[in-house]
């Protein structure tokens, strides 16, 4: 099944192909139309050339007929004796032709003998090209020439009298009707034309700028037609730009329709792409939501699992640690067994820390936030890391002497720095550099990081940078998920960064990650700086043992009751244990002044919790100091405990030092009755 992204890609590609096809079809049609326009224009120019050539032939023939009549008269005997006035009259007869503007008779010596309708004929023609060429031309053929600076042509015929004396009849032939004919036909308005003699000499030009052009000039089209019966050529010159302009005009509507089709197709493609993009984003959002929901459910399940086992596991640890402490106190100082028991207690402490680490997956857990400095914690972590650091890795701590304090749980902050450093060491299998820095950071504008958001204000940043293998984008996207790991399968699933994420999030912090494959990674943890001024703490007096104060111990586990009694007894207190909270409450009703303090577990039974017992005790009017112990404190336990009148909460497993510190502080000085 294709994804929305693939469908959107296919729609865009198909739409672009459709648009390209429309444009290509329009361009092909325009190209065909241009070819057709060029062909039609060429046909038009050819037709125009033929029409103008035919008209030119007609004009020249009419004028030549008039000259031929004069020549025929001049060769008669009567013409020999005719006076000059008669010659002038015959010349005037030539002007009856509508195309002859003027006529003249040139003698054999090249001198002007007579003229009609024009007074500025040259008097001497003997050196002119017209006279010389006409003299050499065949006797019965007219000669056509032109004069520079004039727009008409000279039509001439040789005249021989009966004595074969040479003379030349000339006529100026007006071709202005050709321009009128060209304008009237309106076949090629942009065209200009020229009248050429067969030898290439230009006789006349029409149509405005009729510059000399070459037939090889690609910017114009040159079409030529011969004038029937005369050595003349009519040349039509049409600019190709005119053809393009006419083609552009005709193609404007076609281009508009093509553009409309392209716009409609583009709009459809864009609308489809937008709709599919929205669907893709919706699918991505749904996938992210489902993933977040799965992760949330996994985290919640993991948290519930961690919370469910924490109480029982801490109870087991409590028994081991309690009896271990009792055994250690009972042994003489020189006993060789003391070392083994100390190592046993150290292992129990590591197990207790492991339980706390697992409990970070419970987002409902409670924390013991207090004002603390990060630097001593970081130094302690690095001392532990340095003890087992490979020789090919160098470690450096950059401390800020003015680093501000934060509010948090020292143990959890320790876990954060330890996990980040441990991951950094594993990321450098071939050695490298591990740098840890602590500094104050002032954030002026809100910033979103990889985990969390920084609001304007003062923050404390702890950065852990390594020069290891780095991470790609795919791995980076999963590193904070529970059980995600960059380690080999034999090393087990990873929970370190998930722990870091949970702890930092619960403290209102944020995490930034910078990484590059082959160049290493930098994890920067931001904690809000503590703003309140630390209050002066009074130095407590020396802790001592009890003086026989009676302490009620309530726990539904008989073994834990027994170990608590043993620990309290070792501290010179007199414990009285109960495994049933109902019986303990009844004992308080019967003799409310017998007991000096109450130590109760939170998880007593399905019907009663330690806070319920505390409320019941306060309902009796008792001011008995109440201490609550728990294997797992949730986020609201402190509030519920304070509301129930509980003065202190202790975390299991219990240590004798915990009990000594709490009851020394809560119980008044020794009463005489207990001496």
Above 90 in pLDDT, residue 524? yes
**Gap between the Cα atoms of 305 and 346, Å rounded:** 25
Name the pLDDT band for 251 (thresholds 50, 70, 90): confident
**Gap between the Cα atoms of 114 and 105, Å rounded:** 5
**Gap between the Cα atoms of 151 and 256, Å rounded:** 46
Using CB atoms within 10 Å of the CB of residue 71, give its burial: 0 to 12 exposed, 13 to 18 middle, 19+ buried. buried
Please tell me the predicted confidence (pLDDT) of residue 540: 45
Lowest average pLDDT, out of 53-67, 132-146, 198-212, 507-521, goes to 198-212
Q: Which residues pair with 520 in a beta bridge?
A: 516
Q: Tokens 């429309």 identify what position? A: 22
What sign does the CA torsion over 653, 654, 657, 662 have?
positive
**Domains recognised in the chain with CATH numbers:** 1-285 (3.30.450.20), 371-528 (3.30.565.10), 550-674 (3.40.50.2300)
Mean pLDDT of all residues belonging to the chain: 80
Give the DSSP H or E segment for 479: none
Using CB atoms within 10 Å of the CB of residue 467, give its burial: 0 to 12 exposed, 13 to 18 middle, 19+ buried. buried
Task: Give the tens place of pLDDT for each residue, 367-377.
Answer: 566 788 888 88
Mean pLDDT over 660-669 rounds to 83
What sign does the CA torsion over 368, 369, 372, 373 have?
positive
| H-only helix segments in 95-163 | 129-136
655 or 305, higher pLDDT:
655
Please tell me the predicted confidence (pLDDT) of residue 490: 32
Name, of 74-78, 210-214, 312-316, 616-620, the range with top average pLDDT. 616-620
Q: Mapping DSSP to helix (H, G, I), strand (E, B) and coil, where does residue 212 land? A: coil
Two tokens, residue 329 = 């106190």
Residue 181 φ/ψ, nearest 5 degrees:
-65, -40
- C-beta separation of 634 from 364 below 8 A: yes
> Nearest to residue 581, comparing CAs of 548, 618, 606, 559?
606
**Gap between the Cα atoms of 265 and 271, Å rounded:** 10
224 or 186, higher pLDDT:
224
Please tell me the predicted confidence (pLDDT) of residue 489: 37
Could you list the beta-strand ranges (E) of 256-368.
none
Please tell me the predicted confidence (pLDDT) of residue 370: 76
Above 70 in pLDDT, residue 483? no
Distance set, CA 520 to CA 416, 424, 425, 431 (Å): 19, 9, 11, 12
Above 90 in pLDDT, residue 236? no
- C-beta separation of 209 from 181 below 8 A: no
Two tokens, residue 58 = 């007609």
> Nearest to residue 145, comparing CAs of 193, 93, 201?
201
Task: Give the tens place of pLDDT for each residue, 553-610.
Answer: 998 888 888 888 888 998 899 999 999 889 999 999 998 889 999 999 988 877 788 8
Total number of residues shown for the chain: 675
Please tell me the predicted confidence (pLDDT) of residue 491: 34
Please tell me the predicted confidence (pLDDT) of residue 466: 92
Lowest average pLDDT, out of 146-150, 197-201, 418-422, 499-503, goes to 146-150
Please tell me the predicted confidence (pLDDT) of residue 587: 92
Contacts of 621 (CB under 8 A, 6+ apart): 592
Name, of 166-170, 395-399, 511-515, 657-661, the range with top average pLDDT. 511-515
Q: Which residues pair with 153 in a beta bridge?
A: 146, 173
Using CB atoms within 10 Å of the CB of residue 320, give its burial: 0 to 12 exposed, 13 to 18 middle, 19+ buried. middle
| H-only helix segments in 75-139 | 77-81, 84-94, 129-136
Mean pLDDT over 636-664 rounds to 86
Above 90 in pLDDT, residue 625? yes
Above 60 in pLDDT, residue 213? no
Task: Give the distance from CA 363 to its chain's centroid.
Answer: 36
**Gap between the Cα atoms of 247 and 436, Å rounded:** 76
Name the pLDDT band for 511 (thresholds 50, 70, 90): very high
> Nearest to residue 247, comparing CAs of 44, 450, 35, 425?
35
Above 80 in pLDDT, residue 493? no
Above 70 in pLDDT, residue 543? no
Residue 91, by phi and psi: left (phi above 0), alpha (psi -120 to 50) or beta?
alpha
Task: Give the tens place of pLDDT for each residue, 39-70.
Answer: 887 888 888 888 888 988 898 888 888 888 88
Distance set, CA 458 to CA 183, 442, 500, 527 (Å): 90, 5, 21, 9
Above 70 in pLDDT, residue 107? yes
Contacts of 350 (CB under 8 A, 6+ apart): none
Q: Mapping DSSP to helix (H, G, I), strand (E, B) and coil, where does residue 297 land? A: helix
Q: Mapping DSSP to helix (H, G, I), strand (E, B) and coil, where does residue 113 land? A: strand
Please tell me the predicted confidence (pLDDT) of residue 673: 40
Give the pairing type, strands 220-227 and 232-239.
antiparallel
Above 60 in pLDDT, residue 449? yes
Lowest average pLDDT, out of 91-100, 328-337, 644-653, goes to 328-337
Q: Which residues pair with 531 in a beta bridge?
A: none
Lowest average pLDDT, out of 127-136, 185-194, 304-313, goes to 304-313
Q: Tokens 């007929």 identify what position? A: 65
- Angle (CA) 606 610 616, round 5°: 100
CA atoms within 13 A on the CB side of 42: 9
């Amino acid at each position: 099944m294709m994804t929305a992204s693939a469908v959107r890609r296919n729609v865009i590609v198909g739409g672009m192909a459709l648009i390209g096809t429309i444009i290509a079809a329009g361009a092909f049609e325009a190209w065909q139309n241009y070819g057709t326009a060029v062909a039609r224009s060429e046909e038009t120019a050819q037709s125009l050339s033929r029409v103008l050539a035919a008209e030119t032939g007609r004009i020249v023939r009419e004028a030549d007929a008039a000259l031929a009549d004069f020549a025929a008269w001049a060769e008669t005997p009567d013409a020999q004796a005719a006076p000059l006035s008669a010659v002038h009259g015959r010349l005037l007869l030539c002007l009856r032709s509508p195309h002859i503007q003027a006529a003249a008779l040139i003698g054999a010596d090249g001198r002007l003998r007579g003229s009609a309708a024009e007074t500025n004929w040259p008097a001497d023609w003997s050196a002119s090209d017209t006279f010389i060429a006409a003299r050499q031309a065949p006797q019965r053929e007219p000669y056509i020439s032109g004069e520079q600076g004039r727009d008409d042509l000279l039509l001439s015929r040789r005249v021989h009298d009966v004595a074969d004396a040479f003379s030349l009849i000339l006529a100026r032939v007006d071709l202005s009707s050709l321009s009128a004919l060209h304008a009237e036909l309106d076949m090629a308005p942009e065209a200009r034309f020229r009248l050429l003699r067969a030898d290439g000499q230009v006789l006349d030009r029409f149509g405005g700028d009729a510059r000399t052009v070459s037939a090889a000039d690609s910017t114009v089209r040159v079409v030529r037609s011969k004038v029937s019966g005369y050595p003349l050529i009519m040349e039509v010159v049409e600019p190709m730009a005119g053809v393009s302009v006419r083609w552009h005009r005709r193609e404007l509507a076609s281009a508009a329709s093509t553009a409309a089709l392209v716009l409609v197709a583009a709009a459809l493609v864009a609308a489809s792409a937008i709709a599919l993009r929205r669907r893709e984003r919706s699918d991505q959002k749904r996938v992210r939501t489902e993933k977040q929901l799965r992760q949330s459910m996994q985290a919640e399940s993991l948290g519930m699992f961690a919370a469910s086992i924490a109480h029982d596991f801490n109870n087991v640890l409590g028994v081991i640690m309690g009896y271990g402490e009792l055994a250690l106190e009972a042994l003489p100082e020189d006993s060789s067994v003391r070392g083994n028991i100390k190592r046993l207690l150290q292992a129990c402490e590591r197990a207790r820390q492991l339980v706390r680490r697992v409990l970070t997956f419970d987002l409902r857990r409670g924390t013991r936030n207090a004002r603390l400095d990060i630097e001593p914690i970081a130094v302690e972590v690095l001392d532990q890391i340095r003890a087992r650091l490979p020789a090919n890795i160098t470690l450096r701590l950059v401390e800020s002497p003015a680093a501000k304090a934060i509010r948090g749980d020292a143990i959890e902050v320790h876990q954060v720095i330890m996990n980040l450093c441990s991951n950094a060491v594993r990321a450098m299998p071939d050695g490298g550099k591990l740098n840890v820095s602590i500094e104050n950071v002032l954030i002026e504008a809100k910033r979103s990081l990889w985990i969390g958001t920084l609001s304007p204000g003062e923050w404390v940043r702890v950065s852990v940078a390594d020069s290891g293998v780095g991470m790609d984008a795919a791995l980076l996207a999963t590193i904070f998920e529970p059980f995600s790991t960059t380690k080999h399968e034999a090393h087990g699933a990873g929970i370190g960064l998930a722990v870091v994420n949970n702890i930092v999030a619960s403290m209102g912090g944020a995490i930034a990650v910078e990484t590059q494959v082959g160049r290493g990674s930098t994890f920067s943890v931001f904690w809000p700086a503590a703003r309140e001024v630390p209050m002066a703490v009074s130095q407590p007096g020396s802790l001592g043992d009890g003086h026989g104060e009676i302490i009620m111990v309530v726990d539904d586990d008989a073994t834990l009751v027994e170990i608590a009694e043993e620990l309290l007894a070792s501290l010179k207190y007199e414990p009285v244990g109960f495994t049933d909270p109902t019986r303990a409450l009844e004992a308080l009703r019967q003799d409310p002044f017998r007991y000096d303090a109450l130590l109760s577990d939170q998880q007593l039974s399905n019907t009663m919790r330690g806070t319920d017992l505390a409320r019941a005790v306060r309902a009796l009017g008792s001011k008995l100091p109440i201490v609550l112990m728990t294997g797992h404190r949730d986020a609201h336990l402190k509030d519920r405990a304070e509301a129930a009148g509980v003065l202190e909460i202790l975390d299991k497993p219990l240590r004798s030092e915990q009990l000594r510190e709490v009851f020394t502080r809560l119980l008044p000085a020794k009463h005489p009755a207990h001496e």
